[in-house]
Amino acid sequence: MNTNRIRTLRAPFGSRRAVAALVGLIACALVACDTPTATRPTFAYDPTTLSNGMLYRWANGQQLHVWADLADSTRAVNLGQSVRTAIARWNDLPAFAEFELVIVSNPADAQIIIYDRARPMPVRAGSCAFEPRAAVGYTYFCATGGNAERLALASGAPSRASVVIRVDDTLVAGQSRYDAIVAHELGHALGIGAHSSVAGDLMFGLPTTSFPTGRDAQTLQYVLGAPADIIL
Amino acid sequence: MHWSGAVAACLAATALASFAPRSLRAQAAVREPVVWRFVGEAAASVGGTWLEGSRAPTVRSKPGFLFGVGLQRGWTEFVAAGATLRGGIQPLEIRENGDSWSGGTLTEANFVATLSLQSRQRRTNRVSLDLSGGAAVLSGANDILPFHDAASLAPLAEVGIAIRRGATNADASRRDLALFVRYSTLKVQSEYVNAVTTTGWVGRIVAGLRVSR
């Protein structure tokens, strides 16, 4: 690839000057260039009003395994569809890979267990009272000290589960409302221990949407970065 | 980037210290043919704070690798210019409130044009100052800031130094080996609705081996 052109040349500098230039240019770059920054938002609504002022959440950076009892497929609403929808929507929100919800097939591997009232409870309650009463959706965990208790399976076998969600399809009118309830309860399971006062929010007491709103997302972002009183 | 008076003074001082005319002996004229060379490089990249904040996670790179191929043309015995296409990966780590977790792996491709200014020859080793500019495409790690919704093309600037051994710019028949270290900085811009982010520059140190022939 030679060419025959001839150039008259000059040595531009010595090696010591090359090092000086390198150091100088790097110093200039360090002075001139600011690192990108981020600030987590504050909450849109206080995420601890249902948990006695205690902020609870999962340790960041992990896959959260979810198991749903799908044994009864003859019902008018489909729990599996609601769970998949809710997981997809909540998984869109982490900005720093704080969690990823994943469906698993074995309840012993799950950290979050979801079932419908029509089915037997798949886990045993912990040392705290399990009181769903007539709620259309109910999220339960039991904290001792700074950590949630691991719940045994109904058979008595140990599990990784610390959160159980019960929904009641007899109290909802159709699949979309069922989707909304499951997504809402999953928001509680992720650390939002509160209800929004804005009717359009997913975390409103009687949700009509299965999409987390900007206010829900903002509150979850706050929760994920706040020091936790309870680790699930 | 804040181009303050201090920065301008810094650049001026660097230029004066590095590129002031040397003695007449050092500027002795020589005659050499102009050649093209193929270039291959393998390097490790260290550092890189992609995001930090007073109330947000810090996103940093762990050591990673870069590989590149390119072409270089020796304009004179002391000046060469070229272009290099590189690809590499860097694992990401996120830290917040004393916890740390993986941010996945960042995949990067970049294309840079480089001006290489070589020092006077001393024995068989020579030193060159490399100045580069180009753009990087960052992908992967899309579920974390600043890569979530980040601009796909990031401007890139580099300054480095290489210790070369082997052929001169004018000698195409011999292999040229160089150990290099460079400071690479690229501009990252990201907007995310639920976390206030600001544009900034991310700096990394890259060191490796370059072979050209």
Residue A90 pLDDT: 96
Q: Residue B144: its chain A contacts at CB < 8 A?
A: 94-97
Contact B122 A15 (CB under 8 A): yes
The question of ipTM being above 0.85 is answered as no
- Split at pLDDT 50, 70, 90, the class of A7 is very low
- Residue B18 φ/ψ, nearest 5 degrees: -100, -30
Instruction: Report d(CA A132, CA A14) in Å as an integer.
Output: 80
Q: What are phi and psi of B27, to 5 degrees?
A: -100, 25
DSSP 8-state class, residue A196? B
A19-29 average pLDDT score: 66
Any B CB within 8 A of A218 CB: yes
Strand A137-140 with A163-167, pairing:
antiparallel
User: How do the pLDDT tens digits run along chain B, 213 residues long?
Assistant: 444 455 555 555 554 455 444 443 444 445 555 678 899 999 999 988 888 877 788 999 999 999 999 999 888 878 889 999 999 999 999 999 888 999 889 899 999 999 998 876 655 778 889 999 999 988 867 677 777 766 678 899 999 999 888 766 656 567 788 999 999 998 887 666 566 677 788 999 999 999 988
Is the model more confident about A115 or about B173?
A115
**A13: distance to nearest CA of chain B, Å?**
5
Listing DSSP states for chain A in one string gives: -----EEE------HHHHHHHHHHHHHHHHHH-PPPEEEPPPPSS-TTTTTTT--EEPPSSEEEEEEE------SSS-HHHHHHHHHHHHHT--SB--EEEEE-S-GGG-SEEEEETTS--SB---SS----TT-SEEEE--EETTEEPPPPBTTS---S--EEEEE-GGGS-SHHHHHHHHHHHHHHHHT--S-BSSTTSTTBSS---SS--HHHHHHHHHHHHSPPSEE-
Q: Is B192's CB within 8 Å of A28's CB? A: no
Residue A56, pLDDT above cutoff 60:
yes
Compute the average pLDDT of residues A10-28. 63
Residue A206's contacts (CB-CB under 8 Å, 6 or more residues apart) are none
A3 has pLDDT over 60: no
Two tokens, residue A133: 């009463």
Contact A14 B157 (CB under 8 A): no
Q: Which of A20, A39, A62 sits opposite B53 (nearest CB)?
A: A39
Q: In A, residues 20-79, which contact B (CB 8 Å cutoff)?
A: 20-22, 24-41, 59-62
Interchain proximity A22–B159, CB inside 8 Å: yes
CA A43, A49, A55, A56 torsion-angle sign: negative
Model pLDDT, residue A77: 86
Do the bridges between strand A62-68 and strand A112-116 make them parallel or antiparallel, or are there none, so unpaired? parallel
Return the residue of A nearest to B158 by Cα.
A26
A19: closest CA of chain B, how far (Å): 7
Q: Which residues of B touch A17 (CB under 8 A)?
A: 17-19, 119
For an interface test with B, give the residue of A3, A13, A220 to mutate (most B CBs within 10 A).
A13
Give me the pLDDT at residue A147, please.
93
Owner of token pair 């993986």: B102
Give pLDDT, residue B51.
85
| pLDDT at position A4 | 44
Q: Which two tokens stand for residue B115?
A: 């001006």
Alpha-carbon gap, residue A123 to A38, rounded angstroms: 40
Decide: B1 and A32 in contact? Cβ < 8 Å: yes
A146 touches chain B (CB under 8 A): no
For B122, B146, B211, the CA distances from B99, given in Å and listed in that order, are 51, 19, 41
Query: Tell me, what DSSP letter sits at residue A40?
Result: P
Q: Which pLDDT score, from 0 to 100, does residue B83 have?
A: 95
The residues that bridge with B154 in the sheet, in sequence order, are B136
A141: three-class secondary structure by DSSP: coil
Task: Looking at the complex, report in whole angstroms how far the Cα of residue B35 sits from the nearest Cα belonging to chain A.
Answer: 5
Degrees to nearest 5, angle at CA A123 with A120 and A128: 115
Alpha-carbon distance A221 to nearest alpha carbon in chain B (angstroms): 7
pLDDT, residue A5, reads 47
Q: How far is C-alpha A211 from the geometric centre of its chain's CA atoms? A: 14
Q: In this structure, what DSSP letter does residue A35 have?
A: P
Instruction: Check pLDDT > 70 for residue A132.
Output: yes
Query: Does the structure show a pLDDT above 80 at A34?
Result: no
| pLDDT band, residue A1 (cuts 50/70/90) | very low
Segment A47-72 shows an average pLDDT of: 92
- The pTM (predicted TM-score) of the whole model is 0.78
